Structure 1
Amino acid sequence: MSGSVKKAAITGHPVTHSRSPLVHGYWLKKHGIAGEYGRVDVPPETAEDFYRNFADAGLSGANVTVPNKEVAAAACDWLDDAAKSMGAANTIWLDDSGRLCGANTDGLGFLGNLDQLAPGWDVSRESAVVLGAGGAARAVVWALLSRKFTRVHIVNRTFKKAKAIADMFGSGTIAHEWDNLGTVLEEADLLVNTTSLGMAGKAPLEIDLSPLPKTAIVTDAVYAPLETDLLRSAKARGNQTVDGLGMLLHQAVPAFERWFGVRPEVDDTLRNLILADLGVTA
């Protein structure tokens, strides 16, 4: 990437298969913006130095993916509330004074996806069940609390990790052992899988959905395959389902606006472009 145009990139390790360049490239072309978006592989052993000296990278900003989100946040001079809450940044940029600023838009991506594909999903919703206790779980818990869910149940096979998230966010978040899943499903208005279970090449997510009310919405952070076994099973029993692709697309919106000055839309053309890259027909 060269020249005087604004440049951004996906950073992390590995980044070879990231679809972020497709997403941002589509928006750059659609809006006729003279900008570039590429990939910069940043292994963990060099990550601290890279983000501390981000101004030397020749980039206006960047996305940050695993395993570097926490390191990037620590290197920032300013963080938004979401990044502060999660201790992780997925979007960084240099402001006019040269400060490195960071945000976490993963939670906004989660909300944007549901707002678009299940309008009104958060009306009169009280109880959510979140499966998993990694970075995606933290983002989803933050998002649900921002929409005033009164109870967010975090269920994970390693209880200590679920407890750490509950302690992080405090009131309204409750950690559970995996064996308690059936009980918490009984009152769920929303079920969210943030684990990698069910992803192509991973073990399946095997849970009994029979306690889940038919009125509950089920969504999955996994987007390859687009319809996971969880979503297929939920749909078969009459639950409304939302796939995880939109979370990837919507988290990119505020980042693009920050770097290039235009707020893009997640439209059908973009969604179909990514589905084609995944080898899935719309």
Structure 2
Amino acid sequence: MTSSDAALDWQALPARTAPYAEVIGDPISHSKSPLIHNFWIEKLGLDAHYRAAHVTPDTLAAYVAARSADPHWRGANVTIPHKVAVTELVADPGNVGQSIGAMNTLFRGEDGSIAGTNTDAAGFVSPLLAAGWEGTSAAIVGSGGAARAMLFGLKQIGVTDFTIIARNALKAMGLLSQIGVKGRVIGFDAPLPPVALLANASPMGMKGHDAYAPDLSPLPKDAVVYDAVYAPLETPLLAAADAAGLAVVDGLEMLVGQAAAAFAIFFGVEAPREHDDELWALLTA
């Protein structure tokens, strides 16, 4: 745990007396979610706040219990490594635990209890749809919560040919089965298949993690390379794809897309996306 994460320990954060939401994870100090949500809060003039909270796996259940008793808490975005584990701790009105198997957004349900949903899937596919991408094959790196959302989202937009690149083949095959798609699992030492989309759903390439830098030559020239990592914004994977002349999508696209959906859940108002150019400038400064 870094000193920055220690300073954000959820148990030591000050109590709030106005509506607030937060992002939880381990690590968490790198998160850009507070910048995004507080930017929108300021633009809308809301009496609210958004912050980062460091939650370790062994305190996740205690966090959920504590926030359920806090009347000012409006919700939380959930990041690595809690997206799967949290499904066992909260209500699931949309049945995303069964359909996706991961939650990235917590909120207070109608009965006052904490419930969960997933905005990652929509956030992931939105830039692909905006760019007019119509591929039918994809390779996804990783088999965690982000990979589950990617598979689910791609299934919804017509992708039928899936490859998962993972170290744990059994876990990855179980993921394909749970999402209800056909595909194959390969290891990191296997050549990439000639897919229309390569998407990194793992923390590889993030600051403090090993890079993911495969040989991209098997990909067709019109393939898209998409990296959910946004710290750094240009990962080794995206740098290699750009050098190879492939289209790229960076992690900010997915981050802002899923954040906008979560913002509406937390605060009951749509995120002011008309200020995206200004927000992007802040995020990439």
Give the aligned residue type for 1:190. Answer: L
In the alignment, what sits opposite 2:200? 193
For 1:251 and 1:162, the matched residues in 2 are separated by 24
In the alignment, what sits opposite 1:175? 185
In the alignment, what sits opposite 1:231? 238
* Residue 222 of structure 1, aligned match among 204, 216, 229: 229
Sort the Cα spacing of 1:13 and 1:202 in 2 relative to 1 into closer, same or farther, 3 A.
closer
Does 2:33 align with 1:20?
A: yes
1:209 CA drift (Å): 1.4
Give the aligned residue type for 2:279. Answer: L
Which moves more between the two structures, 128-137 or 12-21?
12-21
For 1:90 and 1:175, the matched residues in 2 are separated by 24
Give the aligned residue type for 1:172. Answer: K
In the alignment, what sits opposite 2:60? 47
In the alignment, what sits opposite 1:280? none
Secondary structure of residue in 2 paired with 1:247: helix
Contact conserved, 1:73 with 1:79, CA < 8 A, in 2?
no
For 1:270 and 1:51, the matched residues in 2 are separated by 30
1:83 CA drift (Å): 4.1
Gaps of 5+ in 2: 1-14
Q: 1:68-83 to 2 correspondence within 5 Å?
A: 68-83=82-97
For 1:36 and 1:147, the matched residues in 2 are separated by 35
Alpha-carbon RMSD across the aligned residues, in angstroms, is: 2.2
1:53 CA drift (Å): 5.0
In the alignment, what sits opposite 1:146? 156
TM-score, with structure 2 as normaliser: 0.85
Q: 1:150-165 to 2 correspondence within 5 Å?
A: 150-165=160-175
1:237 CA drift (Å): 2.5
In the alignment, what sits opposite 1:271? 280
Gaps of 5+ in 1: 277-282
Sort the Cα spacing of 1:7 and 1:242 in 2 relative to 1 into closer, same or farther, 3 A.
same
For 2:237 and 2:53, the matched residues in 1 are separated by 34
Secondary structure of residue in 2 paired with 1:38: strand
Sort the Cα spacing of 1:70 and 1:218 in 2 relative to 1 into closer, same or farther, 3 A.
closer
1:240 CA drift (Å): 1.2
Contact conserved, 2:98 with 2:178, CA < 8 A, in 1?
no
Secondary structure of residue in 1 paired with 2:226: strand
Secondary structure of residue in 1 paired with 2:84: helix
Instruction: Report runs of 4+ in structure 1 exceeding 4 Å deviation.
Output: none
In the alignment, what sits opposite 2:20? 7
1:24 CA drift (Å): 0.7
In the alignment, what sits opposite 2:9? none
For 1:163 and 1:96, the matched residues in 2 are separated by 36
Give the aligned residue type for 2:236. Answer: D
1:135 CA drift (Å): 2.0
For 1:50 and 1:205, the matched residues in 2 are separated by 32
Percent of pairs with identical residues: 38
Give the aligned residue type for 1:63. Answer: N
* Residue 65 of structure 1, aligned match among 79, 83, 87: 79
Aligned residues: 268
For 1:82 and 1:272, the matched residues in 2 are separated by 34
For 1:65 and 1:236, the matched residues in 2 are separated by 30
Give the aligned residue type for 1:32. Answer: G
TM-score, with structure 1 as normaliser: 0.85
